[in-house]
Structure 1
């Protein structure tokens, strides 16, 4: 039963984690908008989500070592680092900085909106499950 619930919510869990990670990357780009030589970074969200969901379905998990017999057995999934790529600017700057504030703001707002939408869908799924359980 728990496995079915976990697999049902895994996609949304991975999507939220990646959206949060992308917000961090985009906010770092915005924070370094005036840093000479800074290169804007980003990652391909769709491929990262596909890899994260597939990794969750595979049996690539790490065994956790307990130091006493009273510890609960557990498994942790190997965390895959998202491959950050450098963004090619539309208009280059003289100081070598590739951050374009308009592009970063649009990507930041789009990612925030998608994060909120994902939270809304996840909340609706959980409410639906609770309704089914209570009936």
Structure 2
């Protein structure tokens, strides 16, 4: 009997992927805090997760950026990135990054990534135990 990792691991594999991609976006915002005209970006986690789940049900096709690439996997598209509404007034350079907001969101995202990692680790531990490899451990 074959094991379906998609069913066994549930949503946690997708949440980790989305969280890691969100970390890249938030880090980019922080890095561009002093870049004139830069607009802070973020993703809608719920929408991205629903897209990942529907891709899983369809067979999880990879996004290909070149015709020579092999298909498969899940990756956010640029359409999943949203511009954040600024909390502060324009400082005159057109930059919408609020560094405190970005740092707080980055830390929160890192904690949620760690939680998903812990859940996924628990799933693997349960699978190992179910397969008989977790005796005495």
Range into which the TM-score falls when normalised by the shorter chain: 0.7 to 0.9
2:38 aligns to what SS in structure 1? Answer: coil
Q: Quick check: 1:84 aligned with 2:81?
A: yes
Question: Counterparts in 2 of 1:59-98, with a 5 A limit?
Answer: 59=59, 61=61, 76-77=72-73, 79-81=75-77, 83-92=80-89, 93-98=91-96
Question: Partner of 1:94: helix, strand, or coil?
Answer: coil
5+ residue gaps, structure 2, are 63-69
Is contact 2:22–2:43 with CA below 8 Å preserved after alignment? yes
Residues paired across the two proteins, number: 124
Quote the offset at 1:76 in angstroms.
2.3
For the Cα contact (< 8 Å) 2:39–2:95, is it kept in 1?
A: yes
Q: 1:115, 1:60 → 2: CA distance?
A: 21
* Equivalent residue for 1:99, pick from 97, 100, 103: 97
Cα offset, 1:75, TM superposition: 6.6
> Any idea what SS the aligned residue of 1:76 has?
coil
What corresponds to 1:66 in structure 2?
none
Change (3 A) 1:15 1:60: closer
Give the whole-Å Cα distance in 1 for the aligned partners of 2:76 and 2:28.
20
Structure 1 unaligned segments of length 5 or more: list them. Answer: 63-73
Which residue of structure 2 aligns with residue 13 of structure 1? 13
Q: Secondary structure at the match of 1:85?
A: strand
Query: Partners in 2 of 1:2 and 1:25 — Cα distance?
Result: 37
- With normalisation by structure 2, the TM-score equals 0.80
Equivalent-residue separation in structure 2 for 1:111 and 1:38 (angstroms)? 22
The residue number in structure 2 matching 1:53 is 53
Over aligned residue pairs, what C-alpha RMSD do you find? 2.2
- Structure 1 distance, partners of 2:76, 2:97, is 26
